[in-house]
């Protein structure tokens, strides 16, 4: 009969710790303050978490559980580049909605150490970049591509948390810049170049439309035409 109140008290302690962290990202917080917010004594906190580090680890784990729960609810589009784009936006959105959890998940830095739970979403990210690489859509190693995305995505999200507001335009610009760097496209390319890349992207993502051999030919022909057009432009300048 006491299970529900017990679970609720533990959750309230986790939420209180996350709220205190959100108020001062990167700063230390008091266990006494956590207990005061929930209205319990220190022994109750130690009963659930054992120590301050135990509380911090529990907040981090719960944050990643929440984050991965949202990601698992997202259906695959069958296009890894598109899913990388959607994953970026979901990452930023989660951080801004849950700054207390997020600043512990990614902002509490200790040299040479990262929370074990960080590997869970990183595996999902690496699976997407590996799929994109297998389709011939990356110009860098798939693990390097994942590292570029994660480092930039985390840095942007922490910056927006510090600023205290969302900036979707900035997020989109940085996102597209990172995707351009790992796919070999250009952010400032012309309308015709964007169309060519879009055709290639769609064809490679859906090889069943043209067939595997025909898709590879399309990619080769489109790139050859693009290279010829670039050469022609240089000679006329």
Q: Of the CATH numbers 1.10.150.120, 1.10.357.10, 1.10.3720.10, 3.40.50.620, which one belongs to the domain with range 3-188?
A: 1.10.357.10
For residues 196-219, give the mean pLDDT: 72
pLDDT confidence of residue 22: 74
Q: From CA 3, how far away is CA 83, in angstroms rounded?
A: 40
pLDDT confidence of residue 101: 86
Interval 30-41: pLDDT, tens: 999 999 999 999
> Domain residue spans in the chain?
3-188, 189-237
Residue 74: Cβ-neighbour burial (10 angstroms; 0-12, 13-18, 19+): exposed
Interval 92-142: pLDDT, tens: 999 999 888 888 888 876 777 777 788 889 999 999 999 999 888 888 999
Count other C-beta atoms under 10 Å from residue 70's C-beta. 15
Q: From CA 133, how far away is CA 148, in angstroms rounded?
A: 14
Interval 192-204: pLDDT, tens: 555 556 666 667 6
């Amino acid at each position: 009969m006491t299970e529900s109140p017990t679970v609720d008290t533990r959750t309230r302690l986790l939420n209180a710790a996350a709220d205190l962290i959100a108020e001062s990202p990167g700063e230390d917080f008091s266990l006494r303050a956590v207990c005061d917010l929930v209205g319990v004594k220190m022994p109750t906190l130690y009963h659930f978490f054992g120590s301050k580090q135990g509380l911090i680890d529990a907040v981090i784990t719960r944050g990643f559980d929440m984050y991965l729960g949202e990601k698992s609810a997202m259906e695959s589009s069958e296009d890894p580049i598109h899913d990388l784009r959607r994953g970026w936006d979901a990452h930023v959105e989660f951080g801004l909605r849950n700054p207390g959890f997020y600043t512990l998940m990614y902002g509490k830095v200790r040299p040479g150490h990262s929370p074990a739970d960080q590997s869970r979403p990183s595996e999902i990210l690496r699976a997407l970049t590996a799929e994109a690489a297998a389709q011939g859509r990356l110009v860098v190693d798939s693990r390097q591509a994942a590292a570029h995305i994660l480092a930039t995505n985390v840095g942007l999200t922490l910056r927006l948390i510090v600023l205290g507001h969302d900036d979707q335009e900035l997020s989109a610009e940085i996102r597209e810049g990172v995707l351009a760097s790992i796919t070999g496209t250009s952010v400032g390319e012309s309308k015709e170049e964007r169309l060519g890349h879009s055709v290639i992207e769609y064809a490679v993502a859906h090889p069943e439309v043209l067939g595997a051999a025909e898709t590879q030919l399309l990619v080769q022909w489109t790139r050859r035409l693009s290279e010829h057009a670039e050469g022609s432009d240089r000679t006329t300048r």
